[in-house]
Amino acid sequence: MDVPLETPIPTMWWRSVYASTNGFAYESLLDELAVEAGKGLLAFRREYLKDERLHKLIDKMEEVSGWKNRKKGEGCGVAITECFASTVGQVVKIYKATGGGVKIDQVWAVMDCGCYVNPDTVRAQVEGSDRLVYWVFSQWVSSGTLTAVAKGRSSRDEARMESPTVIYQATPAFNSSAHYGGRILFDQTGHLLVSTGERSSTVTRPQAQSMSSGLGKIVRVNTNGAPATDNPFAMQSSARPEIFSLGHRNPQGLALHPVTGDLWQSEHGPHGGGEINRVQAGRNYGWPDTAEVYGPYTNEEIVGEAFAPIREQVVIATKFGFNIQDETKAPKQTRRRSVNHYMETGVQSISSC
């Protein structure tokens, strides 16, 4: 049954799964068993729940709430719920209000989220205080358009973006409506990886090979847009310090391998040949001096070493997303670790190596 409750804590819509509803039943049962056994709520859980991660969670719950220093007459409740490889524990302190009724005094929450990519995102999701959003868009400037990265805070009602700020621009700008790249994700160190295109012009295409241009690159920046200090070209005065890899045409798919942490990337080919790359720091992937499927796109020879794509496909991919699929969870017909290649006509699986 639903019980209306007035609370000073800001709340929004609630969408949940079995863990929340079942968790209430589990924890209510554990409380009853603890009382019946004459043991403390956390002590009973420590004894009953034989898991090292849960024991560490309980230790932290005791620490932050001052559990062992509770005063006589203070009412405290606990709950521990596990879902999707993350575990959350809460301690609630309540008191009897003047005139009757129960009031919540304090709530302490502890979370073991397991593996994470960006701790700021986890903190924002748990505390509800940050609501930061990062996005890539094509920006008009005085000399044309460019690929830009911005961040802002979603309003509490999710109706608008507050304090939007551009934190990175892939310059130079150019008067073109094509090849912006535009994928963004966090790497395992909390930096932003952003793909940029070479703007689909014979004028700008060679800049995919230029170390002084932001076009045709994968760039790696901090959450304020500044270059990551450990980038491969950070110490080269002639190179833009944000460059992570170069020689890309129009990369519109990025994904991190969930086990190895490898960065995988997909991009449009010049003659309908989509390209899949395992991107490594400092490497040159050849565009435009070498190209996929049908051989060199130009007659020029590439300077230095270019790395061949993992897989080429002779197919037009006007909508190009990217994800990595676990073979143990794939449908029977695609029971292998694969890269999903999204197009207007459907999904095509490309096996990786």
- Residue 37 tokens read as 């056994």
Active-site residue (options: 179, 191, 268, 341)? 179
Partners of 194 in beta bridges: 184, 219
Tokens at residue 85, please? 């490889």
Q: Which residues contact 145 (CB under 8 A, 6 or more apart)?
A: 138, 139, 173, 174, 175, 176, 177, 180
Closest by Cα among 248, 279, 268 to 315: 268
CA distances 85 to 244, 254, 259, Å, are 31, 24, 15
179 is annotated as an active-site residue: yes
d(CA 227, CA 170): 12
Helices 52-65 and 41-48 cross at an angle (nearest 10°) of: 170
Half-sphere exposure of 119 (CA within 13 A, CB side): 3
- The rounded distance, in Å, linking the Cα atoms of 309 and 295 is 12
**Main-chain dihedrals φ then ψ at residue 205, nearest 5 degrees:** -55, -45
Print burial letters for 202-239: b (CB count within 10 Å at least 16), e (below 16): eebbbbbbbeebbbbbbbbbebebebbeebbbeeeeeb
Backbone angles phi, psi at 208, to 5 degrees: -65, -25
Closest to 347 (Cα-Cα) out of 328, 323, 327: 323
* Whether the Cβ atoms of residue 152 and residue 161 lie closer than 8 Å to each other: yes
Beta bridge pairs of residue 134: 151
Q: Which residues are catalytic?
A: 179
